Structure 1
Amino acid sequence: MSIDAAKIVATCRESFNKGCTRSYEQRKQLLESMLNFIKDHQQDMIDAMTKDLRKPRSEAMGMEISFAENEVIHALNHLKEWMKDEKTSKPMAMVGKDVYIKSEPVGVMLIIGAWNYPVQLILHPLIGAIMAGNTAVMKPSELSPATAAVFEKFLPKYLDKDCYTLVNGGIPETTALLAQRFDHILYTGSSPVAKIVMAAAAKHLTPVTLELGGKSPAFVDKDCNMYTVARRIAWGRFINSGQTCIAPDYVLLERETRDKFVEALKDAVKEFYGENPQDSKDFGRIINERHFKRVVSLLDSGKCVMGGQTDEKEKYVAPTVLVDVKPDDPVMTDEVFGPVLPIMTVSDVDEAVNFINSREKPLAMYVFSNKKQVVDSILNRTSSGGFTANDVLMHAAVDTLPFGGIGNSGMGGYHGKHSFDRFSHKRAVVIGDQSLESLLAIRYPPYSKKKESWFLWLMSKSRKSKAFPVLIYGALLCAIVGFLLKYCDVTKIY
């Protein structure tokens, strides 16, 4: 379908300029409407994700619908506090002036969602746009059409379409939207497309938030309980049929523990999905034929020790584990984004760190060890968007933490207050009056050394020291004593 992208954006901008989304009361009402939408159409979204991804109900609820619902509730609980002006310290030269930071909406946002979590990755940014007071244009992924259709059908009944417009379609529609001037763009997806988004944004000097991915490593120390570690990694790797941007993408461990870990993985997969995962109602499918063929092509890397079965008609790839993979194998070159887990062996923690650091910075990093020094060593010597020790995925579930990448895995973090801050402009404000003109005269020409010395003294800062408070209190005490000695009859005090 063809769209009039310029008109869509102009309508949203006109609504923003009218102030339809700015006040606390307006934002609160919009968030309440979002909450009603999520509650009223929970089953519609579950059914849609079943059609798009054969996503199990528990995953649809826990990682998408309830996740978004909690984001709205968190915003409703804290929005008034977040919107308050932030008082700041000020130099002596600013005496008599009110100095603070005001969080203001940026304007019109463009939200480009992804197909792997089609509910969460539209609703979470939209909730952030609303809490920050912006209007928004949303573009769901065309690869999850059933979910996109739910948004198109029902969302306008809860949100004014002149403020929050949903555009369905594919590359032509996205291209048309990217040609317009927005005030912020949030894109979730792949690095190659992110470069196109960023180039389009640069033409208008539009800031971007890019939520990408990459190969998120998991290091498993030899001191671990392999049963526990295998269950946690298997859960994080194979939910949503492996189509999770922060899933453990590969495992690094010492050769002496590899076989024990592989056996524990087999037990975990059998526990989760039964003897034949294809028959399990709890195991999803690859999104489309193109991605199915891409994932299947990765199975030639290394040696398959678990899984490997495929069914093109169902777009099914079994939970698969590969060993003896090489750094330049296809499965280790790009993000897997499917139910395939490659395992590489290393000699020790140092080799693991060196290998991780030789690659692009990942969206997430996982370490399993009972030794604090091992966890701290990897945390302090590497870089990633998020970091979790002895578990997987959970850093993204904490609404007080920012979610985002670094380098090739993205830029900018959001969720909770971090969404409010990310999608707001922090405006520097100084409110003065017309008094104290004689004090301010030192800044005016004609200049003199005396004026300069007074001005620099008023503006100067000093290094903090432990002795500084003592000196202040000492000076005050001396001043009080001096006042008493000069103006009071000290003998009467007693």
Structure 2
Amino acid sequence: MSNQTQNTRIEEQIRDAVQRQREYFRTKVTLPVEFRLEQLRKFERLLRAHEDELYEAIFNDFGKSRHHTQLTELFPLFEELGLAIDHLKDWAKPRKVATNLLNQPGKSYIVAEPLGTALVIGAWNFPYNLSLTPVVGSMMAGNTTILKPSELPAETSRVMAKIINENFDPGYLHVVEGAVPETTALLNQRWDKIFFTGSPQVGKIVNEAAAPHLTNVTLELGGKNPAILAEDAPVDVSVKRLIWAKFINSGQLCLAPDYVLVHKSIKERVLERMVYEIEKHDYSVERGNFTRIINERNFDRVVGLIDADKVYYGGESNREDRVIRPTVVHNISVDDPIMQEEIFGPVIAVLEFETLDEAFDIVRKIEKPLAGYLFSHDRETKQRFLAEIPFGSGAINDAVMQITNSNLPFGGVGNSGMGRYHGEYSLECFSHMKPVLEKYFDFELDLKYYGHSDRQMNLIRKLG
């Protein structure tokens, strides 16, 4: 079968799948909150029933251990499901807002309205968490949903497709597996919502595909996330938190600190402590606290960023096993190759600064990151960091852990993305928050009607 014939078949299958979902949504069966809760509870039961398969699949894909998967994939997912099940009835209620005097007698409120048919395109680095958490948001909102997992971790894609496609009506929730042809065919369709997690480069392609239809898009992208260690930062605990955040999932984490700006006075202590923390954890796939690089292409890319002359610690790698040992590089400048792209691997770059202005200038020269981190006790330093450094989400005196609080929205800004989700924000992400003014018939002011005078205008100004 020729490629053209194969692509035509894929296009037809995708078009039929989307049409089936549109027809299902038009039945209005997804609108009642009780239906949504029933599906969310079913989804949770299925995931728990298939946990062993989920663990085996992700281990086969890149050596992620059961405990590592629990910590970074399933526990966060189950938390999102639990919050949705416990709070959806309240979150989905119309939200009352104040009504100005000009619109009295009346009331104002905001209604969460399902967008319709949603496409979720997941990421490979946390294939369960970053694929299924957005799906939970779409289910909460009352949409129908097609999920396209990343094809790179093939086993996790397969197990998600099995769990969902064997247990849900394809008109309501369905997984489409595949690579570029399937993703292209999906993006050729008209959607009511597209949620994409991945790189800025692919995010631009997704946004362009959505533009002709003016489709609502959420893009969760990446970036070079800075961590700043000010002169007063407690070195031991700061580095302890920083090293954990950097090397979890072997650095294949969009929120990981990508480079560290360290005050000149504490640089040597920070470097020494980094080595201490790395060696204390004894990172390895066998110990279950490290993972393989997802594929050889990414392995080669990360290894290519390591300048042997600037390695302070580590630098060893094994292409056959797709493992890069935790590596610290120092004496880095903003012009070095490692500073020109997101590392997305177990390599941490250390830059030195003398003044806070110097550090902030370096950060601002780079595209707005998905996350920003500061380690300092000083109140003025913290205030300046929040006011002067743009980032999607962040933490002061920690790193990555902001993602564990579902009361905080997660999302990027500028080159690192648009839109936000998690917890109640996931419902908003997949809904149209429809504002409504409801007037009563008790009486009617004549102020807005023609026959205007200066007196009327002054009164309208005061009442507005």
Q: Distance in 2 between matches of 1:62 and 1:297?
A: 30
Secondary structure class of the residue paired with 2:248 = helix
Counterpart mapping for 1:45-84 below 5 A: 45-84=54-93
Partner of 1:313: 320
Partner of 2:37: 28
Tell me: CA distance 1:159–1:134, structure 2 relative to 1, closer, same or farther (3 Å): same
Q: Distance in 2 between matches of 1:253 and 1:213?
A: 22
Q: Distance in 1 between matches of 2:428 and 2:53?
A: 32
Residue 176 of structure 1 pairs with residue 191 of structure 2: no
Residue 288 of structure 1 pairs with residue 306 of structure 2: no
Partner of 1:367: 374
Which 5+ residue runs of structure 1 have no aligned equivalent? 463-494
Partner of 1:457: 459
Secondary structure class of the residue paired with 2:305 = helix
Residue 448 of structure 1 pairs with residue 451 of structure 2: yes
User: Deviation of residue 457 (structure 1)?
Assistant: 2.2
Cα deviation per residue 1:155-199 (whole Å; 9 max; x = unaligned)? 134432211111000011000000111111110000111110000
Partner of 2:431: 424
Counterpart mapping for 1:58-457 below 5 A: 58-273=67-282, 277=284, 280-300=287-307, 303-432=310-439, 436=443, 439-440=444-445, 443-444=448-449, 447-450=450-453, 453-454=455-456, 457=459
Higher CA-based Rg? 1
**8 Å CA contact retained: 2:98, 2:107:** no
Task: Give the TM-score taking structure 1 as reference length.
Answer: 0.88
Q: Distance in 1 between matches of 2:139 and 2:152?
A: 26
Q: Distance in 2 between matches of 1:6 and 1:461?
A: 52
Q: Distance in 2 between matches of 1:28 and 1:429?
A: 25
Task: Give the TM-score taking structure 2 as reference length.
Answer: 0.94
Tell me: CA distance 1:443–1:55, structure 2 relative to 1, closer, same or farther (3 Å): same
Tell me: CA distance 1:426–1:306, structure 2 relative to 1, closer, same or farther (3 Å): same
Supply the RMSD in Å over aligned alpha carbons. 1.8
**8 Å CA contact retained: 2:252, 2:345:** yes
Q: Distance in 2 between matches of 1:188 and 1:227?
A: 34
Secondary structure class of the residue paired with 2:301 = helix
Tell me: CA distance 1:302–1:249, structure 2 relative to 1, closer, same or farther (3 Å): farther
User: Deviation of residue 372 (structure 1)?
Assistant: 2.5
Secondary structure class of the residue paired with 2:306 = helix
User: Deviation of residue 453 (structure 1)?
Assistant: 3.9
User: Deviation of residue 329 (structure 1)?
Assistant: 1.3
Q: Distance in 2 between matches of 1:441 and 1:389?
A: 54
Q: Distance in 2 between matches of 1:162 and 1:407?
A: 34
Which 5+ residue runs of structure 2 have no aligned equivalent? 1-5
Tell me: CA distance 1:44–1:89, structure 2 relative to 1, closer, same or farther (3 Å): same
User: Deviation of residue 227 (structure 1)?
Assistant: 2.2
Q: What code does the residue aligned with 2:269 have?
A: K
Q: Distance in 2 between matches of 1:302 and 1:200?
A: 43
Give the share of equivalent positions with the same residue, in percent: 38
Which is worse superposed, 198-207 or 370-379? 370-379
Q: Distance in 2 between matches of 1:80 and 1:456?
A: 43
Cα deviation per residue 1:35-55 (whole Å; 9 max; x = unaligned)? 112211112111111111211
Q: Distance in 2 between matches of 1:95 and 1:280?
A: 66
Tell me: CA distance 1:457–1:146, structure 2 relative to 1, closer, same or farther (3 Å): same
Secondary structure class of the residue paired with 2:213 = coil
**8 Å CA contact retained: 1:273, 1:283:** no
Q: Distance in 2 between matches of 1:434 and 1:230?
A: 65
